[in-house]
Structures are given as structure tokens and as C-alpha cells.
Amino acid sequence: MRVRVRAGSGVVGPASYRGNTEPNCAPAGERGSGTVLAAGLGSVVMIIMVALLFLAQSATMASRAAAAADLAALAGADAARGITSGDPCAVAGTTAAQHEAVLVSCSVTGQGNVEVRTELKQKTPLGAASGRARAGPPP
């Protein structure tokens, strides 16, 4: 019979009775399960981070599309009131293009109100970002 002795721990006992050579060790069938668990949790965290990055990118793009729509509507309203020269929708389209957006729709009402809808040229994995704005003379 073989007996294992460790310094400072005394006699551990026969190795054939314990099944493991290390005290307080997991059974042989469970070795490496912590590594698999850690790899799985790491993968879940990475997937969540990628999803959050996609959502943050979409929020940023939506903000850019809204800003392009606001500026295009203001420029179109200035042209409708005669402050700047040109067709209100053409001026709005030029302003939207300067902000990397496409003018999807433009309408001018009788009192110089301009309503525009823009869409960014750059697409996201979740679709194209669009913005809508209305501008006109002060009340």
C-alpha cells in the first residue's frame, strides 16, 4: 500500500481510496468545468457588449439624422420667407446633403412653414436612420 505524505499536512491516506491525488479537488469527471463555464460567461458578455454597441451606434445615427432634418428645415424656412434666395426644398436638400443625409420629402405651406424628412446615407445594421422636422416664421 502506497501512502502519500505532504509537508505540514500529515498523512493524507492511500491514493487508491481517494480517487484523487489532491485533497479538496473536484472528482475526475468535473475537471475543466470551470474553464468551460468561464468561457461561456465570457462569450455571453461579449455578445451583450456587441449588442450594446449596435444600439449606441443606432442612437448616434438617429441623432445625426434629426440634426440634419432640423438644419434643412430651418434653411428651407429661411428661403420660404425670402431671407435667403432659392427654392425652399432645393435649399433644404443642399443643407441635408452637407450633413451626409438625403432629403426624402419636403413640403411648404402657405405661411412659410417647411416640413422635411431626411435619411442618412450611411446605413446601420439595424436600418437607415431618419429624421423629421418642421420650421417656419415665429408666431
Per the CB < 8 A criterion, the answer to whether 102 and 119 are in contact is yes
Between 112 and 38, the higher pLDDT residue:
38
User: Against a cut of 0.75, is the pTM above it?
Assistant: no
The whole-number average pLDDT for the span 122-133 is 86
Among 12-21, 43-52, 54-63, 90-99, name the one with the lowest average pLDDT: 12-21
**pLDDT for residue 83 is more than 70:** yes
**pLDDT for residue 112 is more than 90:** no
Among 11-15, 47-51, 108-112, 135-139, name the one with the lowest average pLDDT: 11-15
What is residue 17's predicted lDDT score, i.e. its pLDDT? 47
Angle between helices 88-98 and 33-81 (to 10 degrees): 150
Per the CB < 8 A criterion, the answer to whether 120 and 69 are in contact is no
**pLDDT for residue 87 is more than 80:** yes
